[in-house]
Amino acid sequence: MHTVKDSVHDHIEVEGVAAALLDTPAVQRLRRIKQLGTVSLVYPSANHTRFEHSLGVYHLASQALAHLGIDGPRAERVRAAAILHDIGHGPYSHNVEDLIHRRTGKYHDDVAGLVETEPIAGVLDDHGLDPARVTALVTGEDELGQLVAGELDVDRMDYLVRDAHHTGVPYGTIDTGRLVRELTFIDGRLVLKEGNVQTAESLLLARALMNPTVYSHHVARISKAMLRRASERLLETGDVTGEQLRRMDDYELLVRLRGHDASRALADRLADRDLYKRAVWAELDDVAEDVFDPEEPLFDPDHETVRAFEDDIAADAGVESEHVVLDVQGQPSMRESTTGVLVNGEIRRLDEQSTLVRALQMAQREQWRLGVYAPDDLTEPVGRAAERVLGLDVDGALVSETTTGEYASLDDYNE
């Protein structure tokens, strides 16, 4: 047994298969993957790692299993999945995940190739566990997979409190102890017991408040977009494959980016925190509905469409295409809103039961922003060009923060 002192959960006792998995290379690599990617450029103390988070998920999973009365091999599979659930992450966590997926077809939870081969498969076999069944739990399959990757999983319970703790913001506080104690299975579905509507609401409220202040903070989005662009240029050289990029850690990627002519300029900017600025910061209603695709306006345009718009904006502004970055958020969603809660003996979806949750869903739409970024001295021409190319309603959208006094301070660290 190992006892680990954790900044969030105090002492975590790691034993059994989880203890054996800790020192495998794939798990140790998570020490070199920041949980929040480039968010440390906004909140300097946000340097916690996927390794810490995986220990926290293991801890909460163990508590939930104890309260549910689940033990033996079934419980050990869940504990193994909790420790291993993030080993498929690329460098800087989610920051380059879409790029890696375009090149490899894999997301971070595609861990079969890592779990079902040596040395992890050997550790699992030594403990009488089937690697394929552990992989299935990581992707949310099987009844117990809901604990690791579901609507009400211990993964999000840990990352919310951990991210709030390390950024210092007061919004991610949730009662993880009560949440794991009040979980139960009814007809194979993981739900919260009677009388826990407010407990579930607290989880969604924390998530809704963390999104604009941390996860989608404008500086975090700008730095993420720059990192993605630099990584894309590195891949285009052919010197690094998508699969190689996927298995790098944060430090390795930054060194490779700074060491190649194609990506050095952007990588040096990231290293020195010499970031692009917002030329456009537009709300959902500021953007014409059919600007991207009449079938699915605004949300999730494909990579080629985004690059074509960047080229058009650059041509209109009379600048190089490399100086324009278009950042389009996906469709506002709140997966946790479908959480099942027992009310008067029947399972109800939280968003059908809670007026607060429905209000949070509306707030998500209001928080949506489309960003166009450029070097500081080019934000004005790029912003005006983006206005014309994208058909923006300039009465609502911020076009070039350098000419709009109201936003002059918003490019500082976390103001």
Rounded CA-CA distance 344/414 in Å is: 44
Does residue 402 belong to any structural domain of this protein? yes
> Of 120, 149, 168, which residue constitutes the final position of a domain?
168
150 and 291: one domain? no
Q: Among 139, 168, 197, give the residue marking a domain's end.
A: 168
Q: What is the pLDDT of residue 408?
A: 30
Q: Where are the beta strands (DSSP E) in 161-316?
A: 183-186, 189-192, 277-283
Decide if 230 is inside a domain.
no
* pLDDT at position 404 over 90: no
Per-residue pLDDT at 300:
74
> Would residue 374 count as lying in a domain?
yes
Give the model's pLDDT for residue 158: 97
Whether residue 406 is predicted with pLDDT greater than 70 in this model: the reply is no
Q: Which residues pair with 325 in a beta bridge?
A: 373
Bridge-partner residues for 109, per DSSP?
Answer: none
Residue 157 neighbours by CB under 8 Å, 6+ apart: 60, 174, 176, 179, 180, 203
Question: For position 110, what pLDDT does the model report?
Answer: 96
Q: Indicate the pairing of strand 189-192 with strand 340-343.
A: parallel
- Neighbour-count burial for 176-189, b at 16+ CB within 10 Å, e otherwise: beebbbbbbeeeee
Amino acid letter, residue 402: T
The type of residue at 246 is R
Domain membership of residue 255 (yes or no) is no
Confidence of residue 296 (pLDDT cuts 50, 70, 90): low
Confidence of residue 346 (pLDDT cuts 50, 70, 90): very high
pLDDT of residue 173: 84
Identify the pLDDT of residue 294.
Answer: 53
Q: Is 184 domain-assigned?
A: no
What is the share, in percent, of the chain residues with pLDDT greater than 90?
83
Q: What is the CATH number of the domain that holds 89?
A: 1.10.3210.10
Give the SS3 label for residue 189: strand
Q: Omega before 119 cis (within 30°)?
A: yes
pLDDT score, position 334: 80
With contact defined as beta carbons under 8 Å apart, do 271 and 254 qualify? yes
Q: What is the mean pLDDT of the chain?
A: 92
Pairwise pLDDT comparison (172 vs 47), residue with the higher score: 47
* Residue matched to tokens 């607290």: 202
Which pLDDT does position 247 carry in this prediction?
98
- Judge whether 196 lies within some domain: no
Question: Per-residue pLDDT for 410 more than 70?
Answer: no
SS3 state of residue 282: strand
User: Does 85 fall in a domain?
Assistant: yes
pLDDT of residue 37: 97
Give CA separation, 352 vs 141, 270, 336, 337, in Å: 25, 44, 12, 9
pLDDT tens per residue, range 241-262: 999 999 999 999 999 999 999 9
pLDDT tens track for 196-245: 999 999 999 999 999 999 999 999 999 999 999 999 999 999 999 999 99
Among residues 379, 371, 98, the alpha carbon closest in space to that of 218 is found at 371
- In 3-state terms, the chain is what percent helix, strand and coil (to 5)? 55, 10, 35
Q: What integer is the mean pLDDT of 106-132? A: 97
Q: From CA 136, how far away is CA 153, in angstroms rounded?
A: 15
Quick one: which of 4, 123, 129 has its CA closest to 78?
Answer: 129
**396 pLDDT higher than 70:** no
Strand partners, 49: 34
Residue 400 confidence (pLDDT): 65
Task: Give SS3 for 278.
Answer: strand
In this structure, what token pair is assigned to residue 385?
């060009």
Quick one: pLDDT at residue 369?
93
Domain that holds residue 67: 2-168
For residue 119, what pLDDT is reported?
A: 98
- 340-343 and 346-349: which strand pairing? antiparallel
DSSP string of 353-386, one letter each residue: H-HHHHHHHHHHHHH-EEEEEE-GGGHHHHHHHH
Q: Number of folded domains in the chain?
A: 2
pLDDT value at residue 155: 97
What is the pTM assigned to this prediction?
A: 0.93
What tokens does 136 get? 């299935």
Query: Is the predicted pLDDT of residue 157 greater than 50, yes or no?
Result: yes
Using a pLDDT cut of 70, give the percent of the chain over it: 93
Please state, in angstroms and rounded to a whole number, the distance separating the CA atoms of residues 302 and 352: 33
Q: pLDDT at position 41, please? A: 97
Q: Tokens 């891949």 identify what position?
A: 235
Number of H helices, E strands in the chain: 20, 10
Where among 144, 168, 192 does a domain terminate? 168
Whether residue 56 is contained in a domain is answered as yes
Task: Specify the pLDDT at position 64.
Answer: 98
